[in-house]
């Protein structure tokens, strides 16, 4: 048996993932996660402390599941522990080591966090860091005002005065708008949890109001998908009017029903640019640069006067948003330069 285990140990991958230490009859004794599966499992065999001293003599097999990164490994570890309840994972048995975002089924759904899976609720998670999740939700509420009260009050509360609730208790007509807010919220939660999502970003470039162009860039599953990029020559707008140009580009894009629809649209700009997407029901956000610090940005939504700083959001979302902004800007500028060269030198640079 030890020869088989030695072979298993030698063949373990040096990649992130979850590993399962098994006893007789495939009984799972312990589930762990690691940045380097092989190194972590070998550490168990070298350790002379509890519970390794108890587990190691009982191991008859080792299994593993690889992931792309350590965060995914931790989430997978939690899911496997909840499913199989291994004897020696006592510290994870109380269902309180990860967080879920709960959405009730009411007409105006309530949003709150918890730890227990419940079939009566729509739930997103698990999220590894409860502190980071709560901070993320607090920031999102500034631009996506959602309800948190257990019962709708008879009159607006402090959150209404603070601008993080639209007063749903006295404004039932906001039902459709609130549905769009919830949809936007769930998309961003999915983005935070590394869910497979398609995001499109748009930018406008022109030369003193002429030779205007628009760009559409795509991120799929967190990575640029250059085969999906599109460029648009502005046809209906005269002069420098970025909002009108953006409206034209978005309208033309939405007519292409053969193109895959995005889960989220990011516009380069602020509140003004959001007007260009007023008729679009897909979640839309605008991202404006801060000139004194190009590494920072403000995020706006159609549902609030407030904005939030991108640098207060999780690193994963910051990375994706900056990738989108930079790619959209680069792609628009490069197309604008090609149009200028064609006008000046008569070269055919267009595709």
DSSP 163-212: TSS--TTT-GGGHHHHHHHHHHHHHHHHHHTT---EEEEEEEEEETTEEE
Grouping H, G, I as helix, E, B as strand and the rest as coil, residue 52 is helix
Do 77 and 109 share a structural domain? Answer: no
Q: What is the CATH number of the domain that holds 275?
A: 3.30.420.340
d(CA 272, CA 325): 17
Do 103 and 70 share a structural domain? Answer: no
Q: DSSP string covering 63-124, please?
A: EEEE-SSHHHHHHHHHHHHHHH--TT-GGGTTS-SSEEEEE--SSS-BEEEESS--TTSEEE
Does the CA dihedral 136-138-144-149 come out positive or negative? positive
Query: What residue numbers bound the domain in which 240 lies?
Result: 198-345
pLDDT of residue 3: 76
Do 233 and 178 share a structural domain? Answer: no
Report the 10 Å Cβ neighbour count for 176. 9
Do 128 and 81 share a structural domain? Answer: no
Do 210 and 132 share a structural domain? Answer: no
Segment 98-149, tens digit of pLDDT = 788 999 999 999 999 998 778 789 988 888 788 999 999 999 999 999 999 9
Q: DSSP string covering 124-143, please?
A: EEEES-HHHHHHHHHHHHHH
d(CA 28, CA 17): 16
Q: What is the CATH number of the domain that holds 8?
A: 3.40.1440.10
Do 326 and 222 share a structural domain? Answer: yes
Does 350 reside within a domain? no
What's the total number of domains in the chain? 3
pLDDT of residue 53: 85
Do 124 and 149 share a structural domain? Answer: yes
Which of 70, 92, 114 terminates a domain? The answer is: 92
Which of 51, 74, 92 terminates a domain? The answer is: 92
pLDDT of residue 156: 85
Do 59 and 148 share a structural domain? Answer: no
Entry pTM: 0.79
Do 116 and 183 share a structural domain? Answer: yes
Does 133 reside within a domain? yes
Which portions of the chain are predicted below pLDDT 70?
Answer: 1-2, 90-97, 209, 291-295, 346-351
Does 164 reside within a domain? yes
Which of 73, 92, 111 terminates a domain? The answer is: 92
pLDDT of residue 231: 95
d(CA 190, CA 320): 13
Do 208 and 85 share a structural domain? Answer: no
Does 270 reside within a domain? yes
Do 186 and 154 share a structural domain? Answer: yes
Segment 336-349, tens digit of pLDDT = 888 877 877 765 54
Do 202 and 188 share a structural domain? Answer: no
């Amino acid at each position: 048996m030890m020869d088989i285990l030695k072979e298993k140990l030698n063949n373990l991958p040096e990649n992130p993932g979850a590993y399962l230490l098994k006893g007789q009859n495939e009984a799972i004794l312990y589930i762990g996660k690691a940045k380097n599966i092989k190194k972590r499992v070998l550490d168990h065999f070298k350790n002379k402390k509890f519970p390794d001293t108890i587990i190691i003599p009982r191991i008859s097999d080792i299994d593993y599941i690889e992931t792309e990164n350590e965060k995914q490994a931790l989430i997978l570890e939690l899911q496997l522990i909840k499913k199989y309840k291994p004897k020696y994972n006592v510290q994870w048995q109380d269902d309180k080591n990860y967080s879920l975002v709960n959405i009730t089924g009411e007409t105006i759904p309530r949003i709150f966090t918890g730890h227990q899976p419940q079939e009566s609720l729509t739930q997103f998670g698990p999220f590894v860091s409860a502190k980071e999740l709560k901070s993320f939700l607090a920031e999102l509420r500034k631009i996506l005002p959602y309800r948190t009260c257990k019962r709708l009050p008879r009159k607006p509360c402090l959150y209404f005065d603070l601008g993080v609730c639209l007063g749903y208790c006295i404004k039932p007509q906001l039902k459709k708008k609130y549905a769009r807010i919830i949809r936007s919220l769930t998309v961003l939660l999915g983005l935070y949890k590394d869910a497979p999502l398609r995001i499109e970003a748009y930018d406008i470039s022109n030369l003193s109001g002429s030779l205007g162009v628009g760009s559409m860039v795509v991120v799929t599953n967190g990575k640029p998908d250059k085969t999906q990029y599109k460029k648009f020559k502005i046809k209906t707008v005269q002069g420098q009017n970025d909002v009108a140009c953006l409206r034209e580009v978005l309208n033309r894009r939405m007519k292409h029903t053969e193109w895959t629809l995005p889960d989220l649209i990011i516009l380069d700009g602020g509140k003004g640019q959001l007007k260009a997407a007023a008729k679009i029901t897909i979640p839309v956000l605008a991202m404006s640069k801060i000139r004194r610090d190009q590494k920072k940005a403000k995020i706006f939504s159609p549902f609030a006067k407030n904005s939030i700083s991108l640098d207060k959001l999780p690193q994963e979302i910051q990375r994706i948003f900056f990738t989108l902004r930079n790619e959209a800007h680069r792609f628009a500028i490069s197309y604008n330069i090609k149009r200028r060269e064609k006008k000046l030198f008569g070269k055919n640079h267009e595709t």
